[in-house]
Amino acid sequence: MPELPEVETVARDLQRWVAGATIREATVHWDRTIRHPQPAEQFVAEIAGATIRRIDRRAKTVLLHMVDGRVMTVALRMTGALIVAEPGTPPDPYARVVFALADGRELRYRDTRKFGRIGLWPGGGLRSVGAGRGARSRKVAEGVRQYRVGEVFSGHGPEPLARRFTVRRLAERLSRRSAKLKALLLDQGFIAGVGNIYADEALWRARLHPLRTADSLNEAEIKRLHRSVRQVLRQGIANRGSSFSDYVGADGEPGENAERLAVYRRTDQPCYRCGRPIRRIVVGQRSTHFCPRCQPEPVASVEP
């Protein structure tokens, strides 16, 4: 999916353009886009007439907070996009859900691969960014668990750009894990929002091999990793995200960050630091790019 910087870009665009707008009617063209607990028709009935108060982001999910307190979550996954269309814009064959706004515009959820999911939840339980604990669900009359939006994110790790995501906190989390760095960065329960592109970029910047294990890092390396993760994400946001084929902001335009990536999809091209060709390997079924000189192989344990 769009990763943290791409989702942040979309959320900021939407905050500027549709905060205050009222959803007149939603049309669902692909039912499975609507995730539990609502079936698509119920979702359509419940969202009609809702006014959007503000839009922000949690992990890789766009949150549309309604004036009545409910929260619509939009997880873009691989190819999802939220695009504001002016009246008269030709229909989009890949629009899976279309929100007709009262002012005549449309907010379109476009998703070629149909992996993305939209949900509508009672508010509550969302701590300020970077919080850990989730919300407790509310028991409703018939004993049906009614999840609050905070619960959707209870399994997520800290927001890497939050103030409380400190070197110390990262060090503590790393020390308890033996997984490979690449796999950990992709694990949303470890850090929220990092995906395949920014994981590779952060490791290159930190000069850490993707196969290093978490608990093998010394203090200086942890510091570099912490700074690198935040830098690559902030740079991504500043450039409105990295676009290859599908990702676009809410303005429908691709981001500029792809051209500034150091390793991602640069296999065999020279490393910007040392000139050696970038290598591609597969880690945990995900393609992984790194510089074999700048990111030295993990040392075999000096042992028995």
Partner DNA sequence: ACGCCTACCTGCTTGC
Partner DNA sequence: TGCAAGCAGGTAGGCG
Binding site for DNA (CB under 7 A): 1-3, 6, 32, 59-60, 75, 77-79, 112-115, 177-180, 183, 186, 188, 195-197, 214, 241-247, 284-287
Burial class (CB in 10 A: 0-12, 13-18, 19+), 72: buried
Report the nearest approach of DNA to the CB of residue 95 (Å): 12
Is 286 designated active site? yes
Among all chains, which residue has been given the structure tokens 């970077």?
A: 130
Report how far apart, in Å, the C-alpha atoms of 119 and of each of 14, 38, 206 are.
17, 7, 37
Is 158 designated active site? no
Q: Which is nearer to DNA, 18 or 283 (CB)?
A: 283
Residue of 177, 207, 286, 292 with catalytic role? 286
Read off the DSSP letter of residue 156.
Answer: -
Print burial letters for 94-116: b (CB count within 10 Å at least 16), e (below 16): bbbbbbbbeeebbbbbbbeeeeb
Q: How far is the C-alpha of 237 from the C-alpha of 224, rounded, in Å?
A: 20
Report the nearest approach of DNA to the CB of residue 30 (Å): 8
Residue of 58, 60, 182, 224 with catalytic role? 60
Tell me the CA end-to-end span of the chain in Å, nearest whole number: 44
| Cβ(148)–Cβ(124) below 8 Å | yes
The DSSP bridge partners found for residue 106 are 85, 100
Is 60 designated active site? yes
Residue of 2, 5, 122, 158 with catalytic role? 2
Among all chains, which residue has been given the structure tokens 């694990």?
A: 187
Continuous segment of H or E residues that includes residue 43: helix 40-47
Report the nearest approach of DNA to the CB of residue 240 (Å): 11
Q: Which is nearer to DNA, 105 or 228 (CB)?
A: 228
Is 2 designated active site? yes
Residue of 3, 6, 8, 106 with catalytic role? 3
Report the nearest approach of DNA to the CB of residue 202 (Å): 13
Catalytic residues: 2-3, 60, 286
